Structure 1
Amino acid sequence: MYDVIVIGQGLSGLLSAIWAKEHGYSTAVVATGTGKIIQSTGVMDLIPGTAGGLNEWVELYQMSHLQLGQLTGVIEQFKALTKKIGYPYKGEIEKLSSIVTGSGHVKKTALFPETISPLPEKGHIVIVGFEEVVDFQPAYIKGNLQKARPQLTIDVLKIKLGNRSQRTMTQLDAARLLDQKEIRNSCIKQIKRLIVEKNIRELDMFIFPASLGVEDWKETKDQFSFELNAKITEAPGMPPNTTAIRLYECLKKEAVKLGVRFYADTTVTGCTIDGEDIKSLTIQTANRLSNLNGKQFILATGGILGGGLEVTPEGLKETALRLETDEKGVLLHCLSNLYQVGASRGIQVTQNGITGGIFTLLSIHEMIDQLHQQMMIGGTRSA
């Protein structure tokens, strides 16, 4: 029997498992697939799809003064974890940063990895694309970015990675190639040559697709920045985004290192309930059904986009435990040893279909505190 069983291995699931394990609890993760984290941009927004700041965030999620007071500690906890796992995040919730996306639009975000740098209002920028990667078009990006930042001087370049594929090459493919030093050297040489040919001077920043290496992202970013003598940023766009995949892989490695047990490619088809408690999950692997026993359970299956909620003619349905919900996807009766995090709390905490990363972090922090209290006293939560 596990102390804690987490259902789902997206951002909510992996962070829940890591922080539960750090409290000393035997922890398991049950998941089908990898979670929606790898389809994200890897940045942590306050309110997805808007430029709303902290005041708007508090109002949208109806935060109390106590919750707001916890937020700084939550952010520092997340930053400490990402630094520990080798993929540090930076940024502030009080002052959002403007970053450029893979479409050339500017968005406001709270936390972002070190491969991303805030976009300046003025200066000279060069957008660099790869001939082999068709979903990042520097000329198109320039058009959108110029509208958002009219005071910027923007040039575009296209270079060759030197590798062809039998299929369309993604930005992730390019990132894996750039882990190789000889390919990085070739790319830098091409950029320097084109800069001279186009008589481009006094550069402030280079914008690349989300492809600056996977395992060796820091070495890649530092080499480009040093040799090109300017700031470097990735512009995350359509998935797969290497920015998100790096975070997922680092979190997964940390969870495994801590001793979290993963039940991969396993579907939760229901649960056994005794009074107010869940006693076990019914899980299916291939053609085999079995039970998985636990003391506390964390629902980290996401909302509609994550597959945790399903839209049916009768309304929203919770897909893992088959528990009844209201019209917003909120559980009508949350069992005493079940904790919901992130978008699994229902569509009232989503914006444009997803939760903001910052809300997700806070919801996990609150959940871990509640779980720890109950594990210490060996009791059950009050409603």
Structure 2
Amino acid sequence: MKEWPEGGPELAWSTKGIGEGFSSVAIAGGLIYTGGNVGENTVVTALDMEGNIQWQTENDKAWTNSPAGTRGTPTVDGNRLFDQSPLGEVVCLDAKSGERIWGLNVLEQFGANNITWALAESLLVDGNHLISCPGGEKASVVALDKATGQTVWASPSTGEQTSYATPTLAECQGMRMILAMNAKALIGISADSGDLLFRHEHLTEYDVNALKPIYHDGHVFISSGYGSGSELLKISADGGHQRAPCEAWSVGRAGVQRVWESKELDNHHGGVILLDGYLYGSGFRGDWICLEWESGKLMYAEPGVDKGSLTYADGMLYTLSENRKVGLVEAVPTGHAVKSQFELPSGGQGKSWAHPVVCGGRLYLRHSDQLSAYNVRAEP
């Protein structure tokens, strides 16, 4: 749909009972997966495509400090599901039944302390490896055997805590690397050996580096809120080039050089989308921002549904404010005109921080204990 009826698109179904939290949804094999606080526990929930709960499996005690609830979204890989609780418990479950196959606590195993607002990353699958970023004294990033949970490699510690972002897998000039944000920096880790390739300092208030790094064509984009802003960095996989004054120190076999920086787009944790050479996302102060990828040129900074998260489908941005306002915006760099909007019904307490998802002609929106699915496929 390019526009919605007044009051929003048709509601297909709405379900409560998934628990309190900010996890989004993963959809695979005819099931919808998410996480939440149910009672005193973190719980992974599987629903069918009509919103009926099929199973629920506990994964650790609940995070109850403010804001209470789960953060990361379960990762599905074939017939296995991987989930990391806010307290660091990593579990492998059978995706169809929810049966627990193995589990361990990455904070305990790698000598790390939890961060202020608890772990928020979604686990990354790389072939036979499961990637997690515990930070701490023993390792910055670790690769686990996804079949057993055994450690394959543990990258050297940078001495910094982790942060809130999901890592990114990239291949640059033949080198496979994990790009991860910790509390103070972007780090590059060899995906095959765990060697530390580079560290590029990126400081922000409260150590909240929450955006998943965006990799494209030998470059990586990072952004943080509180006025910290954005950077586009060029990666050199050989690490042997002449460094410019603004360039990060090359720790291992690679290095990065800043191409541009911008204070205009200081994304908090709502995500940024790269589309056709332009970056779209919400700034910390509430405006929606578009930057040109190559230059960092500001294309627009305009109001929308207020600060929030977004996804993309069929030429449109689906935006969700942290106060339950939903907007439909044409994805063009000439302006942020909201074509349609509605308000997501309350599902409990707290902000609507779970990212929206569009899949199979439906828009999935979560607020606290409630997940709703809306029909957004255009009529033939």
Q: TM-score, normalised by structure 1?
A: 0.28
Q: Indicate the structure whose relative CO is greater, using CA pairs within 8 Å and at least 6 residues apart.
A: 1
Higher strand share: 2
- Structure with greater helix share of residues: 1
Larger radius of gyration: 1
